[in-house]
Structure 1
Amino acid sequence: MIELQVLTPDDWGRWRELRLAALAEAPYAFGSTLADWQGDGDREERWRARLSIPDSYNVLAELGGRPAGMVSGVLQPRDGTVELISLWVGEQARGQGVGDRLVRAVVRWAVGRGAEAVRLAVTPGNAHALALYRRHGFEDTGQLGDEMPDGQRERLLVKRLTAG
């Protein structure tokens, strides 16, 4: 059974564990690197600050009582959108609906916040993530995002939300 838990800054240790695992296992999928968050970057106050981003929603998924994935949504008040960031599902939990539950949770939260759309960036070679997002109604905007550590450019996707 998949259970979702909304995290607070006090849950920084649980977030840290999954984020480091994500950066180690799927470095191609994130703009940050494992090295960015290790050594001097691995400080409690930094992890707490990450979970304290204003108007953010940070969720951890458990499958069978074990941490299985994570995601964040961040309200962008300047344009009425929510940015979906940091989605990752552990290898042992893939194909079991964890990613779907995490995406739906952020979309529901975005609707509740009155957002007009949810947007995200995905690396072009991340076919599984792209399929997940398309399954949930995200469309490619045709715009390129940030340059990744490997030199590729992210693809920007959006899901328009309807009232009600």
Structure 2
Amino acid sequence: MITLRPLTPDDWPLWREVRLAALADAPRAFGSRLADWQGENDREERWRERLVLPGARTLVAEWEGAPVGVAGGVPIPGAEDVAEPVSMWVAGPARGRGVGDRLITAVEQWAREEHGAVALRLAVAPDNPHAAALYRRRGFRRTDLPGNTLPDGRVEHIMEKPLTSLD
């Protein structure tokens, strides 16, 4: 059974475990690099700060008591009615079991009910077809908005989904 759990600042060790696993497993899927969160950057206060971003929510998916996925939602500065799913990742053994769908559904619900968002907008790495397929299946469509340039020079694709009360 898959369960989702919102993280609080006191859950920083779990957030650290899952985030480092995600960055190690899928280094080309994120704007951050594993090295950005290790060494002198691997400090308790930094992990806690990420879990108290104003208006944000971070969720961990657990399966059989073990963390197998993570996703967050953050407000987009300057776009009051749009939120951004971030840090989405599902561990290899849990892929294809509905974990990604459950995480996206939870972020959609948070965005609509707690943030008042009318749309979700996210960035996906151009060579991450599995993530893009999940987002398309969930109603996201590619936009013409420019994406960020990743550390290795690739440019992210921006996708957006309107939210309705029936999603």
- In structure 2, what is the equivalent of residue 161 of structure 1? 163
Matches within 5 A, 1:76-95: 76=76, 78-79=78-79, 80-95=81-96
Deviation at 1:75, TM superposition (A): 1.9
SS of corresponding position for 1:83: strand
**1:11 and 2:11 correspond:** yes
Identity %: 56
Aligned counterparts of 1:151 and 1:73: Cα–Cα separation in 2:
25
Matches within 5 A, 1:7-156: 7-76=7-76, 78-79=78-79, 80-112=81-113, 113-156=115-158
Task: Give the TM-score, by structure 2 length.
Answer: 0.95
SS of corresponding position for 1:96: coil
What runs of 5+ residues in structure 2 fail to find an aligned partner? none
Deviation at 1:30, TM superposition (A): 0.4
Which amino acid is 2:159 matched to?
L
Greater percentage in strand: 1
Aligned length: 164
Aligned counterparts of 2:87 and 2:77: Cα–Cα separation in 1:
19
Deviation at 1:162, TM superposition (A): 2.6
Deviation at 1:91, TM superposition (A): 0.8
Runs of 4+ more than 4 Å apart: none
Per-residue displacement from partner, 1:84-133 (whole Å, max 9, x unpaired)? 10000011111110000000000011110210111100011100000000
SS of corresponding position for 1:130: helix
Which amino acid is 2:105 matched to?
R
SS of corresponding position for 2:153: coil
What runs of 5+ residues in structure 1 fail to find an aligned partner? none
SS of corresponding position for 2:156: strand
Which amino acid is 1:63 matched to?
W
* Structure 1 vs Structure 2 CA RMSD: 1.1
Aligned counterparts of 1:133 and 1:70: Cα–Cα separation in 2:
15
Deviation at 1:57, TM superposition (A): 0.8
Aligned counterparts of 1:149 and 1:7: Cα–Cα separation in 2:
28
Task: Give the TM-score, by structure 1 length.
Answer: 0.96
SS of corresponding position for 1:59: strand
Deviation at 1:64, TM superposition (A): 1.4
